[in-house]
Amino acid sequence: MTTAPQHRPVTLARRGMVAAPHYLAAEAGLDILKAGGNAVDAAIAASAMLQVVYPFVCGLGGDVFMIIYDAASQKLYGLNGSGRAPNAATIDHYHALGYATMPVRGIHSITVPGCADGWEAAARRFGRLGLARSLEPAIGYAEEGFAVGPGLHRALSVMGSLPDTHRSWHQHFLPEGVVPPVGAIMRVPTLARTFRALAQEGAETFYRGAIAEQIAEFFSREGGLISKADLTAHHSDWVEPLGIAFGDWQIYELPPNTQGVTALQMFGLVDKLALGDAPLSTATIHLEIEAKKLAFADRATYLTDPEAMTVDPTALIDPAYLATRRALIDPAHAATSVAPGGFTGDTIYLCAADGQGNVVSLIQSNYMGFGSGVVVDDTGIVLQNRGAYFVLDPTHANALAPGKRTLHTLIPSMAMRDGKPIMVFGTMGGDGQAQTHLQVYTAVVKYGLNIQQAIEQSRWVHGADKEGGERILIEDRVPDGLVDSLRDMGHAVATTNGWDAMMGYAQGITFDQTLGVMAGGSDPRAEGVAAGW
């Protein structure tokens, strides 16, 4: 076992646990467990609460994904609750609007929201108390008010200062034109009304009823593309999680349109490599980064809506294919360019577990902070900008098309051993999510860190810099000489502060399968806790 400093202790419990990036969300989920709900009920309650107190990372206008372990059937189930592009969204239409690339924010960056239907699908199939009961804590805080935390204050200040933020956002969040200070009481009565409508009428009202009418009328007034027909056509899908061996664990992620297979590729590549003597050693980080480069080259080339993919995603994690990709890794030098393999044929994450053995891995997002920066008038629905991930090149795998799901960065995960959950984990962080999955699972499986230590350890993310090149951004809580040694291997490295929110907010629970004890970890980079019972 590798020793590592620890900022917080793990949370230990036997009857239930919820780990979330805000303490009120974790407590809401735990209250549902104590009221007789199960892990699904608790996860939905925590997710709804985050839309009230952490609206800069999730909302009813976004998407949701889940991996659920159902103790009764002893099986894993995957839920894809992501929305699709409007039927009027064609590449030619966007070119006619003057766009050479997809807009990052605004009315034309929005896809159909999937969250409400995803919640209801999970609650109906696996929940115990029903969607209405899970929404009660969020409704109470939205109506009665809550104290603004530092994360929300900071996010409101940034978004409110952007010149192109839509007037609907200002009217909803800053009706008096002033950012509320930390500790001020904030209420969101319009969101409470929408939640109450969902509680009374279910997702039917959101996609085919009164709320759908409000959304469609709003888009018509604002010149957007989403129509009542687009909302009516929406549905979530139950999908089969994909898995790969990592040590003596089996790690599961969701299939495309998520980037889950990208994380699995990285696990498969790293599992057979000779890592260093610690998770933050030069050898370990170098090999992880090289595996990331290979997996992301394939992601950029192949991943999109599964109905539009030209490659079976299971081919990307086939052992023979991974062996050919692994052979490209130089253990001593950084690759300067990586080609895809060849074939012939801003976000919240939370997890919940109950005493009966049910486990939920849930991730939800509006994509970039407050998403599109657009809020449906008089509803509190903050709309995602997930459409910004599409590409306006018809030859690209993730090219925009009517009714198409874009490639999604959102990836919940769960690990099994001997057919039972051993760890549930996830994080926000866009492209960094798969990279954080690799780092945290490696720290736990290969080096014996507990879940809190693994979440807290200094984290890195590899990606493009402002000049278009590549670099590693790493928190500065690393061993002496590490940055220099990575640079000597050919990596471009920059350091950032020791607890950088850019590294994402991770949450996780591990399970002692012998004693029946849950150990929860929550990221100090956010305002969350792992609340146990």
Residues annotated as catalytic are 347
Distance (Å, whole) CA 206 – CA 209: 6
Long-range contacts of 364-367 (CB under 8 A, 24+ apart): 364/47, 364/50, 364/58, 364/62, 364/63, 364/64, 364/65, 364/115, 364/410, 365/57, 365/58, 365/62, 365/63, 365/409, 365/410, 365/428, 366/57, 366/58, 366/59, 366/61, 366/62, 367/62, 367/430
Cα–Cα distances in Å, from 161 out to 156, 164, 177?
A: 8, 9, 11
Residue of 473, 468, 479 lying closest to 497 (CA atoms): 473
For residues 8 and 522, the answer to whether their CB atoms sit within 8 Å is yes
For residues 90 and 436, the answer to whether their CB atoms sit within 8 Å is no
The helix/strand/coil state of 443 is helix
Cα–Cα distances in Å, from 206 out to 190, 227, 290?
A: 14, 13, 44
- Three-state SS string over 77-92 comes to EEEEECCCCCCCCCHH
The residues, any chain, with a CB within 8 Å of residue 267's CB and separated by 6 or more, are: 244, 246, 251, 437, 438, 441
Edge-to-edge strands of the sheet including 16-20? 237-239, 75-81, 63-70, 359-365, 347-354, 16-20, 529-532
Residue of 360, 411, 348 lying closest to 49 (CA atoms): 348
Neighbouring CB atoms inside 10 A of 396's CB total 13
